[in-house]
Amino acid sequence: MKPPFLPFTGHDLLAVERFRDDTRHMIEFRVLSEDSPYGQREQYVRLFLDEDRYAQAFEAHRSGSIRILRHAHIIEGHILPDKPKKRRGRSF
């Protein structure tokens, strides 16, 4: 899925949170519900998170409060995007 062309709120790509020792995840997501703690409905957000806050965000994704569009692992400040899953099947 291509990232949306709307501006993101939350953390900038060079945010201090990206370079913290406990930061392990970057997510970009869209807020789907009115009562979400992550922002207003239809807002696009980027956050750099540690393991605990990522687990909370993933639970919000599972409950339908947000929809995670992109995820990347963070290692020593480096952004390592998830690789797309390989499709199984015949090629023509």
pLDDT of residue 7: 80
Along the 92 residues of the chain, how does pLDDT read in single tens digits? 455 566 888 999 899 999 999 999 999 999 999 888 888 898 999 999 999 999 999 999 999 999 999 999 999 999 999 887 777 766 55
All structural domains of the chain with their residue ranges: 9-81
Whole-number Cα distances in Å, 25 to 35, 69, 87: 24, 13, 25
The span from the CA of 66 to the CA of 30, in Å, is 6
Place of tokens 């480096």: 78
Non-local (6+) Cβ contacts of 39 within 8 A are: 9, 10, 31, 45
pTM: 0.82
